[in-house]
Structure 1
Amino acid sequence: MRLNPFNPGSINVRRGGGGGGGLPGGAGGLGCGGIVIVLIAALVFGVDPGQMLGTLENTQQADGQITQGPSDESAAQICDDNQYATEACNALASLDQTWAPPFQRAGIAFRQPTLVFYQGGTRSGCGAAQASMGPFYCPADEGIYIDTSFYDTMDRQLGARGDFARYYVIAHEYGHHIQNLTGLAGQMQSAMQANPRQANALSVRMELQADCYAGVWAGKNRNLIEPGDFEEGMTAANAIGDDTLTHGQVSSENFTHGTSQQRMQALRLGMESADDTQCDRIIQG
């Protein structure tokens, strides 16, 4: 995908400080089912583990201040760290430009998320983060957190390679930001707390909608798509389905992101329609 170079002054980027030291909220109180969900989240594109396990509120209260990276680094310096970082910043700029107009037309306040790069571990508004968790979005501080070494894991362990597969990661996390801005994330969190038995099913719908939003971004920028991008996206979506990742060891009732087939369908729906309202069908069921 031929993305334009980012404008350092137009995007929100920072480097995460040191931290880590465990999963948001701590894993000590989790039952076996919760641990399985976290293990899936560690391999799959971005879910906020605190939200998924119903511990976000407690985590936010316990964490307090967020550790910041060096304040004297410019966005250009952070984004120029390596090829992956530059790609992520290019994607962020494109996503900001793509999603701001629909919000403006709808009269809904739009805020750009912050792309937070870290290595190994850091702390977010949703708790401690470790690279093994994979990329995630934190609604508390509206940050997209990523250790870019995850892209090597995608390539070597999941067979999901190519620049579009990597853009898909950022676009999916950005989809969670859209859900947060529209208020859907809060509504779904309340529904999960009110009906814990439906929490996993609701999580799947949220993840599939984020996949669809990722596709909408690509569809709205179809002029930048290159040969092979669609196939890279489908390969990545297939590789990260709950059924594929767990090799059938986790029952469908415990899926949190959807099957490979569902994820491919959601991404395809967004790409082919380039219409975010089509993604509402996923939430409505």
Structure 2
Amino acid sequence: MEPGIGAGARRPRRGRGALYAAVAALVVALTVLLWTAIGPGGAVPPGTPETDADAAGAPAAAQRPSGRDALVDNPLYRTGRLSPLPCPAPALDVEDPDSVERFLDTLADCLDYAWQTQFAEADLPYRPPSRVFWREPGSSPCRDYPSEAGAFYCRTSTSIYIGTEDVVRKWKGEPNGVVYASLLAHEYAHHVQGESGLLEYYHRRRGDEADRGAQNAWTRRAELQANCLAGAFLGSIRVSYGLTSADTDLMLDDAEATADRPDGPESDRTHGSARNSRTWLRHGFEEQTPGACNTWVADTDLVS
């Protein structure tokens, strides 16, 4: 268990390779039947609870929490493990932007279903984010793109923005799709934060801080929570996606590489140390539940 994050963390069990292989074979075999039932584009299958308060014949979902409770006692934290559909790794050719876009779209469909189901469990309203996979320069309500990060989430438009060529260049042509899956899941996690009600309070409290260091302390908790939520999703699909131990190691190494530089100025300390970036991603990956990702009550040294 990672000290101070939360009880119940489990270390991966060893000697289960044959069992995981059998389970993976079964879920992949079922995938064709499930996606046939769902249809193209990630449509919600019959019988899935609606979370839209305006849905005909459906009870209105509870209001999103507000204030400090939205951060530290969010209903989403009590929903248990994510229950996604099987999500086999899509084909990916990083030299083909169309292939990169198809890869991201397929993973985003999996994310939509997983988080919509989770919000229904919490009795919270939820709408999936829009997707903008750019190849040409453009503008969002939050910022212009391309952006240095290659990807960002804009709450104003409730949209995820990713450059299909920019991220490949940023990751130096890395052919393993797990780094792009992790990036997408992280940006998607910011949408989850917004839909759960916590971003409004977070932005207000961060804005109240006059000191840049204090502002960054709030930002790090938000970014490390997004790491953890991304890990929860990736852990929940690791069997059907076919994640190997090498894939997991690459994902965790990448979390370290994209963290704050230890020698960087205070103004740049917005995403957490390499150790904490890795720790929270791994914690979410092992626990597979939003309840493992409450960075807002974590000890300061775990969100530095």
TM-score range, shorter chain: 0.5 to 0.7
* Alignment-derived partner of residue 296 in structure 2: 283
C-alpha distance in structure 2 between counterparts of 1:131 and 1:190, whole Å: 25
Q: Is the 8 A contact 1:117 1:145 kept in 2?
A: yes
Q: How has the CA–CA distance of structure 1 residues 81 and 165 changed in structure 2, closer, same or farther, with 3 Å as cutoff?
A: closer
* Alignment-derived partner of residue 250 in structure 1: 265
Q: Is the 8 A contact 1:154 1:160 kept in 2?
A: no
CA shift at 1:221, angstroms? 1.5
Aligned length: 210
* Alignment-derived partner of residue 182 in structure 1: 196
Structural mapping, 1:1-285, within 5 Å = 8-10=40-42, 82-156=98-172, 162-197=176-211, 198-224=214-240, 225-227=242-244, 228-243=246-261, 248-251=263-266, 254-280=268-294, 282-285=295-298
Q: Choose between structure 1 and 2: higher helix proportion.
A: 1
Q: How has the CA–CA distance of structure 1 residues 134 and 155 changed in structure 2, closer, same or farther, with 3 Å as cutoff?
A: closer
Q: Is the 8 A contact 1:216 1:274 kept in 2?
A: yes
- TM-score between both structures, scaled by the size of structure 2: 0.64
C-alpha distance in structure 2 between counterparts of 1:134 and 1:284, whole Å: 30
C-alpha distance in structure 2 between counterparts of 1:8 and 1:267, whole Å: 30
C-alpha distance in structure 1 between counterparts of 2:231 and 2:222, whole Å: 14
SS in 2 for 1:256: coil
* Alignment-derived partner of residue 20 in structure 1: none
CA RMSD of aligned residues (A): 2.5
> What amino acid is the match of 2:234?
A
C-alpha distance in structure 1 between counterparts of 2:42 and 2:198, whole Å: 26
* Alignment-derived partner of residue 77 in structure 1: none
Q: Percent identity?
A: 27
- TM-score between both structures, scaled by the size of structure 1: 0.68
* Alignment-derived partner of residue 47 in structure 2: none
CA shift at 1:120, angstroms? 3.9
Q: How has the CA–CA distance of structure 1 residues 99 and 204 changed in structure 2, closer, same or farther, with 3 Å as cutoff?
A: same
Q: How has the CA–CA distance of structure 1 residues 194 and 249 changed in structure 2, closer, same or farther, with 3 Å as cutoff?
A: closer
| Cα-to-partner distance string for 1:137-175 (whole Å, 9 max, x where unaligned) | 00011100011123323432xx86511111001000010
Structure 1: tracts of 5 or more residues without a match: 12-79
SS in 2 for 1:145: strand
Q: How has the CA–CA distance of structure 1 residues 220 and 262 changed in structure 2, closer, same or farther, with 3 Å as cutoff?
A: same
CA shift at 1:187, angstroms? 0.7
C-alpha distance in structure 2 between counterparts of 1:168 and 1:133, whole Å: 14
| Cα-to-partner distance string for 1:204-235 (whole Å, 9 max, x where unaligned) | 11000000000000121232232122112112
Greater C-alpha Rg: 2
C-alpha distance in structure 1 between counterparts of 2:41 and 2:103, whole Å: 16
